[in-house]
Amino acid sequence: MINSTQFSYFTLAAYFDTRVFKYLFFILVLFLYVLIVCSNLLLIVVICMNRSLHEPMYMFLCSLFVNELYGSTALFPFLLVQILSDIHSVSNNFCFLQIFCVYSYGSVEFFNLAIISFDRYVAICYPLQYKAQMTFNTIAFLIVVTWLPCFLMVVGLTSLSFSLHLCGNIINKVYCDNYSIVKLACSDTSINNIYGLIVTFLTVFGPLIVILYTYMRIFKVCFSGSKQTRQKAVSTCTPHLASLINFSFGVCFEILQNRFNMSMVPIMLRIFLSLYFLTCQPLFNPLLYGLKMSKICKICKSLFCSDK
């Protein structure tokens, strides 16, 4: 089989001539990236350095924030270079590396959200057994399960795409995308499509099923429980639900754009929709959890506003 390295580079066709505005776009994207890095890094440090936050929920949130840094770093430095460049091309090897990073980021994000919902389920539905069940070994195991299988599945996905015989090298996006490369194939893509559906089910619908089940049980306990139980559930579950809805919408936008002809949609809107889950989620999560989680909020305030 002819390897896809017959092309030494891919051309990203979604970029357009912004002329003098490219410097404005560059500053805006750079500002967003710095804000994402600083906010996520701050919360990671706060959680790691404060013993009062060494609880399962915050450990899982730390894993979530690490993933936000990982996903945004796979995109933003690349975007900054492309905005200033006049030739929007990317080498073959780097393109597949970016595909691996972007897809593994999305998979780990859903797994992280599923693990957080499971943690809330145990805490609310079985409060007396929570400490006995959520031991250090359990936490470590759940975090490994969150990351390792996603990486292995995405390795398989990118390997299958890398072995395709391609008849073109133009990707109609602002970053490398696996589905776009599969559409360029001249060879049979049946295995790619089947494996892609399996990975999608395991990394998207699998976690969503876990989240749906846990929240059904949580709501059942809340409706039959005390006012204090309902307040606890609302305070701890609201940020998670908001994060889940935000990320799910972003992924839906991306799937719709990949699967359907969006040529009638303005190019700026198409670019925004394709970048939504990679930009808004890393920006949204630290702000949401930093403001809504009382322990994190108090510690962050004490760092910047010391009492006199």
CATH (domain of 118): 1.20.1070.10
Asked whether residue 200 is assigned to any structural domain, the reply reads: yes
- Identify whether the C-beta of residue 97 lies closer than 8 Å to the C-beta of residue 70: no
Q: How much helix, strand and coil, in percent to the nearest 5, is found in the chain?
A: 80, 5, 20
**Assigned token pair, 160:** 């299958």
**Does residue 71 belong to any structural domain of this protein?**
yes
- Does residue 247 belong to any structural domain of this protein? yes
If one counts the domains in the chain, the total is 1
Strand order from edge to edge, sheet including 89-91? 89-91, 9-12, 170-171
Confirm whether 65 is domain-assigned. Answer: yes
CB 115 within 8 A of CB 37: no
Dihedral sign from CA coordinates of 56, 60, 66, 69: negative
Q: Which residue reads 């808004």 in tokens? A: 280
Tell me whether residue 306 is in a domain: no
pLDDT at 77: 94
190 found inside a domain: yes
Q: Which residue has the tokens 């840094």?
A: 69
- 105 inside domain: yes
Please enumerate, as own/partner, the contacts of 233-238 that have beta carbons within 8 Å and a separation of 24 or more. 233/120, 233/124, 235/292, 235/294, 236/57, 236/120, 236/123, 236/124, 236/293, 237/120, 238/292
- Which residue in this structure is represented by tokens 């460049």? 85
Maximum pairwise Cα distance, the chain: 71
Give pLDDT tens digits for 211-224. 999 999 888 888 77
Asked whether residue 144 carries a pLDDT value surpassing 90, the answer given is: yes
Residue 308 belongs to some domain of the structure: no
pLDDT band at residue 304 using 50, 70 and 90 as cut-offs: low
pLDDT digits (tens, 9 = 90+) for 11-40: 998 887 777 788 888 999 999 999 999 999
CA atoms within 13 A on the CB side of 264: 2
Residue range of the domain that includes 33 = 4-300
